[in-house]
Structure 1
Amino acid sequence: MTTQTPHFSRPVHLREIPATGRHFVIDTNEDERRAVARQLGLPSVAALTAKLHVTPFRKDGLAVDGSIHALITQICVVTAEPFESEIEAPVDIRFSPDGQDPNAEFDLAELNDPEAEDPPDLLVGDAIDLGAIVSEFLALALDPYPRKPGVTFEGGEDEASLSPFAALDRLKGKDS
Structure 2
Amino acid sequence: MPVEIVADQEQRAELAQIHGLERVDALSATLMVSPWKRNGVKVTGTVTADVVQTCVVTLEPLESHIAEDVETVFLPEDSKLGREGFGLGGEIVIDAEGPDSPEIFSGDTIDVGALAEEFFGLGIDPYPRKRGADVQRTVEPKEMVQENGGSFADKLREALPKK
Instruction: Give the TM-score of the pair, scaled to structure 2.
Output: 0.73
Is residue 2:101 matched to residue 1:122?
A: no
The equivalent residue for 2:69 is 90
In the TM superposition, residue 84 of structure 1 has moved relative to its aligned partner by 1.2
Question: Aligned partners of 1:169 and 1:70: how far apart in 2?
Answer: 51
Asked which structure has the greater CA Rg, the reply is 2
Q: Which residue of 1 aligns with 2:131?
A: 149
Structure 2: runs of 5+ lacking an equivalent: 84-90, 142-151, 158-163
Deviation at residue 169 of structure 1 after TM alignment: 9.1
Q: What's the TM-score once normalised by structure 1's chain length?
A: 0.68
Over 3 Å counting, the alpha-carbon distance change for 1:70 and 1:145 in structure 2 is: same
Q: Deviations over 1:61-80 (max 9, x none)?
A: 21111111101010111111
Whether the 8 Å CA contact 2:62–2:128 is kept in 1: the answer is no
Say yes or no: does 1:39 pair with 2:18. Answer: yes
Q: Deviations over 1:81-108 (max 9, x none)?
A: 11211111111111001348xxxxxxxx
Match of 2:34 in 1: 55
CA shift at 1:38, angstroms?
A: 1.5
RMSD: 2.9
Structure-2 change in CA distance of 1:79 and 1:127 (3 Å): same
* Identity across matched positions, percent: 38
Structure 1: gaps (5+ residues): 1-21, 101-108, 160-166
Distance (whole Å) between structure 2 residues aligned to residue 111 and residue 81 of structure 1? 44
Q: Give the aligned length.
A: 140
Instruction: Kindly state the Cα deviation for residue 168 of structure 1 after the two structures are TM-superposed.
Output: 5.9
Higher relative contact order (CA closer than 8 Å, sequence separation 6+): 1
Aligned partner letter, 2:103:
D
Q: Which of 116, 123, 136 pairs up with 1:134?
A: 116
Offset of residue 143 of structure 1: 0.9
